[in-house]
């Protein structure tokens, strides 16, 4: 028998307190009787005989000591270790993370893992139920617990490797949920390429037996890639790439940077063992150009020898101006990248505002509330009321207060603003007001609605240099993921948010190997990103957009870590396929039950002694 | 509830059992030799000024020309008085002594009232506390039982001498008194009983004790506390002490019994684990109470 919390033994000192209690306080156990005078003579005689202090052990005391001892024993958490019976559930996990594509174990670690698992399932007793979990960025249950081993084998055969990091903790938790109150086995076929910290955080490691595949080995990887526009020109971009050498020796690395059409860089560099090399390139890229950085080497893991980016602007933004025509407004919007402008002076009832990414009402009162992103200029959303007081500002109205750090006011100085009419006295929450005149709000933001509370023609705003900047800020705030290429780049396993789809249009996503995923209408996210490469979003009007998915994971690329963080006793060889494992049988519930059994006896004895004459 | 439906049924049965016993040889009526204003005519005597003129026999006056008073034989006012100890010590035991005593008093009163006897009752501790004024007839049964039911609470110390003295002064005509008590009174009971006996009261004492009082089941170093006086004594109770205690209780009972014998008082010992019906039937069969 062993103890999980042996230090609780010190609580046994409380037994001394019980004994002391019986020595010191024992005489003061009061009992009511109907006539003391019948006892008095007896008491006088006893007094003569009796020593001053006399310790008389009593059954009650022993029972109380037994209860305390049982409780202390429970606190010490005693347990037996033994071997589990073979008929318990088995949860089989196959690591399908990127590092499993390493080819040090022929043909590769993943294929080897599947073979080992298949052999393991074959050897299992027919009465054992098995579940199968594929472990990548998100663990996936491929087969629920079943004694149909053929089915499990089928699911295992269908399992494919992913280009993602392993989420060890989630995998362990999911597998653990299949165990019946912690009983059963979890057999994890993995290269053990996950950080020690994750193992430490997961306190259910005791249930997991690792079947290790692969050896610590060197590797070269691209571990960072960023593409950002520069101020040098509309198509000028800067590419940042980080290369990591996970060998211990100096390596010479030939590489290319190319698009599908042309090669931008074709060069070689050397990198010290265990070092990183960071490089920056200035590139001129046409709109939405897929870019590939490729190391021309033959190392153990080839997946991380490629990284992808998408240069150029995102797809066009559909903007509708409804109401008064304004040259200033039109020019300010056309200056913005990717804006396609539409006009409706008198919008028809059947106009579908959902067809546009942004609607601007200029001195035109919409009949109904419009869903989506809207800018109201000198007009109001139907849900906003006016106060019955006069705005009463002196002309020209000036900005009295503004939210200096609001993204809408970036590079704008409202101090220059002059308005030559009374702004409407809006009833609007103060937190939504971005610029306020003395009497009324001038600019307000409410959820996806922006209200310019004055006519452009009655203000100097269109004449100010900040006017197009303001609309740049509007688009930046509403559509930021469509303007900067870094939003078109995610890591494998992450969710890609491609924004609101244009209603009525069907979006298909084509993966890097040509597979097509159809996206349901109104869906804004795409989750099947477990392969690295360039993904293409195809809209049924033949417009298309790209985004890039990269591994960029030291955890997966640094193959020197293979199995290093696992203790030896956690690793079982392939040959060790006995269906037994160490288990812990906790005894503390037994001690608690015993204490509860003794307690009524103690109570009965106490009650009996307490009932006097 | 002390006198529940079940109890009343048992009393009915007890009454029937008693009738059967009485028919088999016991005389149930008590007739006084003293003349009075009872219903049965007895004799005449010459009128003396001051006599109640309602009892002048006018027929005799018309025949003899002298005034005569009709004399009647009085039915004796046979008073049964039940004295029930309600001091704190009577709360002892499970069921408590007071509960048992009240049930017994209820049964005795019920039988008496059914038999047209005059029944009174008082509860006492240091003095007479609540009193049920003597009355007779079956219509009093409900009120009598209600009186007992309302007085189940125990309080205070016992002072038997004082209470019995008072009773002997309160009632000039002696009757029958039944005292239900544990008699655990350190000040004694002798003086009070003697004064009642001296005035020709027919006295029954029923000493009520619980089995725990006779044979206690306690052991060890214990502080015993008197339930009435709160007097505390530390004592080590072992088998010797228990044996001494039992002897002491026997002596106490024997003393009371000897005293009763000496003064022609009927002593009945009642352990609370005995059923009250059995006790009553036994008492009647042994001609202790009738």
A218-266 residue pLDDT tens? 999 999 998 877 767 667 788 999 999 999 999 999 999 998 889 999 9
Is the CATH code 3.40.50.880 the one for domain A317-478?
A: yes
More confident residue, A289 or B43: A289
How far from B223 is each of A30, A185, A611, B93, CA to CA, in Å? 4, 62, 12, 19
Average pLDDT over all residues of chain A: 83
φ/ψ of A512, rounded to 5, equals: -65, -25
pLDDT at B254: 93
In degrees, rounded to 5, the angle at the alpha carbon of residue A339 between the alpha carbons of residues A338 and A343 is: 160
pLDDT at A297: 93
Q: What is the largest CA-CA distance in chain B?
A: 91
Convert the pLDDT of each residue in A71-94 to its tens digit: 988 888 888 876 555 457 899 999
* B244 chain-A contacts, CB cut-off 8 A: 41-42, 45
Retrieve residue A100's tokens: 């499993």
* Cα–Cα distance, A515 to A465 (Å, whole number): 48
Inter-helix orientation angle B97-114/B5-23, to 10°: 50
Q: Which residues of A411-429 are buried (b: 16+ CB within 10 A; e: fewer)?
A: ebebeebbbebbbbbbebe
pLDDT at B251: 92
- When mean pLDDT is compared across A110-124, A139-153, A189-203, the lowest value belongs to A189-203
- When mean pLDDT is compared across A129-143, A386-400, A563-577, B192-206, the lowest value belongs to A563-577
pLDDT at A574: 39
* B184 chain-A contacts, CB cut-off 8 A: 34-35, 37-38
Instruction: Determine contact, residues A590/A71, Cβ cutoff 8 Å.
Output: no
Retrieve residue A286's tokens: 């046409």
Average pLDDT over all residues of chain B: 81
How many Å from the N-terminal Cα to the C-terminal Cα in chain B?
28
Inter-helix orientation angle A327-334/A466-478, to 10°: 60
More confident residue, A288 or A300: A300
Of A177, A185, A119, A174, the C-alpha closest to A152 is A119
Instruction: Determine contact, residues A18/B215, Cβ cutoff 8 Å.
Output: no
pLDDT at A576: 43
* Cα–Cα distance, A262 to A264 (Å, whole number): 6
Q: Do B231 and A58 touch (CB under 8 A)?
A: no
pLDDT at A431: 81
* A37 chain-B contacts, CB cut-off 8 A: 184, 186, 226
Helices (H), B65-96: none
Neighbour tally for A267: CB within 10 Å: 11
Closest Cα of chain B to A595: distance in Å? Answer: 25
pLDDT reading at A48 higher than 70: no
- Architecture per CATH, domain B5-22+76-209+247-285, reads as 3-Layer(aba) Sandwich (3.40)
pLDDT at A452: 94
Q: Are both A220-312 and A488-550 of the same fold?
A: yes
pLDDT reading at B182 higher than 80: yes
pLDDT at A577: 41
Convert the pLDDT of each residue in A169-212 to its tens digit: 888 888 888 887 667 888 999 998 887 766 666 555 566 888 88
The pLDDT of B264-283, averaged and rounded, is 84
pLDDT at A118: 94
CATH of A488-550, one of 3.40.600, 3.40.50, 3.30.420, 2.60.40: 2.60.40
Q: How many residues does chain A have?
A: 613
- When mean pLDDT is compared across A118-127, B74-83, B246-255, the lowest value belongs to B74-83
- Architecture per CATH, domain A85-216+562-580, reads as 3-Layer(aba) Sandwich (3.40)
Q: Do A42 and B248 touch (CB under 8 A)?
A: yes
Question: DSSP class of residue A552?
Answer: -
Instruction: Determine contact, residues B193/B126, Cβ cutoff 8 Å.
Output: no
Q: At A111, is the pLDDT very low, low, confident or very high (cuts 50, 70, 90)?
A: very high
pLDDT reading at A479 higher than 70: yes
* Cα–Cα distance, A613 to B209 (Å, whole number): 11
Return the domain boundaries, chain A.
2-82+587-610, 85-216+562-580, 220-312, 317-478, 488-550
More confident residue, A462 or A312: A462
Instruction: Determine contact, residues A314/A285, Cβ cutoff 8 Å.
Output: no
Q: Do A31 and B223 touch (CB under 8 A)?
A: yes
pLDDT at B35: 39
* Cα–Cα distance, A231 to A282 (Å, whole number): 11
CATH of A220-312, one of 2.60.40.10, 2.30.30.100, 2.60.120.10, 3.40.50.2000: 2.60.40.10
Retrieve residue A457's tokens: 């023609």
pLDDT at A252: 93
Rg (CA), chain A: 38
The pLDDT of B31-44, averaged and rounded, is 49
Convert the pLDDT of each residue in B131-165 to its tens digit: 888 887 778 888 998 999 888 888 888 889 998 98
The reply to whether A46 touches chain B by the CB within 8 Å rule is yes
How far from B255 is each of B179, B209, B251, B261, B267, CA to CA, in Å? 17, 15, 6, 10, 11
The reply to whether B236 touches chain A by the CB within 8 Å rule is yes
Task: Name the segment(s) of chain B with CATH classification 3.40.50.410.
Answer: 5-22+76-209+247-285
């Amino acid at each position: 028998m062993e103890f999980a919390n042996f230090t609780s033994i010190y609580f046994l000192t409380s037994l001394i307190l019980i004994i002391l209690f019986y020595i010191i306080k024992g005489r003061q156990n009061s009992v009511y009787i109907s006539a003391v005078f019948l006892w008095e003579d007896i008491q006088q005689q006893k007094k003569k005989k009796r020593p001053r202090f006399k310790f008389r052990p009593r059954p009650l005391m022993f029972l109380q000591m037994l209860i305390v001892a049982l409780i202390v024993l429970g606190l010490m958490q005693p347990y037996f270790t033994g071997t589990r019976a073979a008929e318990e559930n088995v949860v089989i996990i196959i690591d399908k993370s990127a590092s499993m594509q390493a080819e040090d174990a022929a043909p590769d670690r993943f294929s080897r893992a599947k073979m080992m698992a298949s052999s393991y399932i074959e050897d299992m007793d027919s009465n054992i139920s098995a579940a199968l979990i594929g472990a990548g960025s998100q663990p996936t249950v491929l087969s629920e617990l079943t004694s149909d081993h053929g089915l499990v084998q089928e699911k295992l055969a269908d399992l494919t490797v992913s280009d993602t990091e392993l989420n060890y903790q989630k995998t362990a938790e999911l597998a653990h949920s299949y165990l019946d109150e912690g009983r059963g086995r979890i057999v994890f076929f993995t290269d053990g390429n996950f950080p020690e910290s994750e193992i430490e955080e997961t306190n259910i490691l005791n249930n997991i037996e690792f079947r290790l595949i692969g050896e610590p080995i060197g590797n070269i990887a691209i571990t960072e890639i960023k593409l950002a526009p520069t101020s040098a020109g509309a198509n000028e971009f800067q590419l940042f790439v980080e290369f990591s050498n996970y060998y211990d020796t100096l390596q010479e690395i030939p590489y290319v940077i190319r698009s599908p059409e042309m090669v931008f860089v074709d060069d070689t560099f050397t990198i010290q063992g265990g070092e990183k090399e960071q490089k920056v390139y200035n590139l001129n890229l046409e709109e939405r150009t897929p870019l590939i950085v490729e190391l021309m080497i033959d190392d153990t893991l080839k997946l991380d020898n490629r990284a992808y980016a998408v240069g150029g602007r995102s797809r066009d933004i559909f903007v509708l101006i409804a109401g008064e025509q304004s040259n200033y407004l039109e020019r300010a919007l056309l200056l913005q990248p990717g804006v396609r402008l539409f006009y409706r002076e008198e919008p028809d009832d059947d106009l579908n505002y959902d067809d546009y990414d942004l609607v601007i009402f200029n001195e035109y009162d919409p009949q109904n509330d419009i869903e989506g992103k809207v800018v109201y200029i000198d007009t109001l959303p139907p849900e906003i009321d006016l106060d019955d007081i006069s705005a009463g500002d002196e002309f020209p109205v000036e900005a009295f207060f503004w939210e200096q750090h609001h993204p809408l006011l970036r590079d704008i100085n409202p101090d220059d603003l002059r308005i030559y009419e009374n702004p409407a006295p809006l009833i609007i929450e103060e937190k939504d007001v971005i610029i306020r005149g003395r009497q009324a709000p001038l600019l307000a933001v409410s959820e996806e609605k922006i209200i310019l509370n004055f006519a452009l023609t009655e203000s100097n705003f269109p004449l100010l240099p900040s006017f197009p900047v303001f609309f740049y800020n509007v688009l930046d705030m509403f559509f930021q993921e469509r303007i900067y290429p870094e939003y078109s780049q995610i890591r494998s396993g992450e969710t890609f948010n491609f924004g609101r789809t244009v209603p009525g249009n069907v979006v298909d996503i084509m993966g890097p190997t040509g597979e097509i995923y159809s996206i349901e209408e109104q869906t804004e996210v795409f989750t099947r990103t477990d392969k690295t490469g360039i993904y293409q979003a195809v809209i049924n009007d033949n417009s298309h957009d790209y985004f890039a998915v990269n591994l960029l994971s030291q955890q997966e690329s640094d193959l020197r870590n293979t199995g290093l963080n696992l203790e030896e006793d956690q690793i079982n060889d392939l040959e060790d396929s006995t269906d037994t494992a160490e288990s812990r049988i906790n005894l503390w519930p037994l001690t608690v039950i015993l204490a509860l059994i003794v307690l009524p006896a103690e109570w009965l004895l106490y009650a009996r002694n307490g009932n006097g004459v | 509830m002390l006198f529940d439906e079940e109890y009343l049924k048992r009393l009915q049965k007890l009454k029937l059992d008693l009738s059967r016993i009485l028919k088999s040889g016991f005389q149930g009526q008590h007739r006084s030799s003293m003349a009075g204003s009872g219903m049965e005519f007895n004799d005449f005597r010459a009128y003396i000024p001051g006599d109640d003129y309602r009892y002048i026999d006018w027929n005799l006056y018309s025949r003899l020309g002298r005034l005569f008073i009709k004399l009647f034989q009085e039915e004796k006012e046979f008073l049964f008085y039940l004295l029930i100890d309600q001091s704190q010590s009577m709360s002892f035991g499970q069921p408590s002594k007071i509960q048992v005593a009240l049930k017994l008093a209820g049964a005795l009163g019920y039988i008496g009232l059914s038999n047209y006897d005059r029944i009174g009752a008082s509860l006492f501790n240091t003095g007479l506390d609540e009193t049920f004024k003597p009355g007779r007839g079956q219509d009093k049964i409900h009120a009598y039982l209600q009186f007992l039911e309302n007085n189940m609470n125990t309080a205070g110390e016992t002072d038997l001498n004082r209470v019995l003295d008072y009773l002997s002064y309160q009632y000039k005509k002696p009757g029958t008194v039944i005292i239900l008590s544990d008699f655990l009174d350190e000040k004694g009971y002798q003086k009070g009983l003697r004064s009642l006996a001296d005035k020709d009261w027919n006295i029954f004492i029923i000493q009520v004790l619980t089995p725990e009082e006779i044979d206690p089941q306690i052991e060890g170093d214990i502080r015993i506390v008197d339930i009435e006086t709160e007097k505390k004594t530390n004592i080590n109770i072992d088998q010797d002490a228990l044996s001494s205690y039992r002897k002491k209780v026997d002596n106490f009972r024997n003393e009371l019994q000897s005293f009763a014998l000496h003064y022609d008082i009927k002593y009945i010992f009642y352990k609370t684990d005995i059923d009250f019906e059995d006790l009553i039937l036994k008492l009647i069969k042994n001609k202790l109470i009738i």
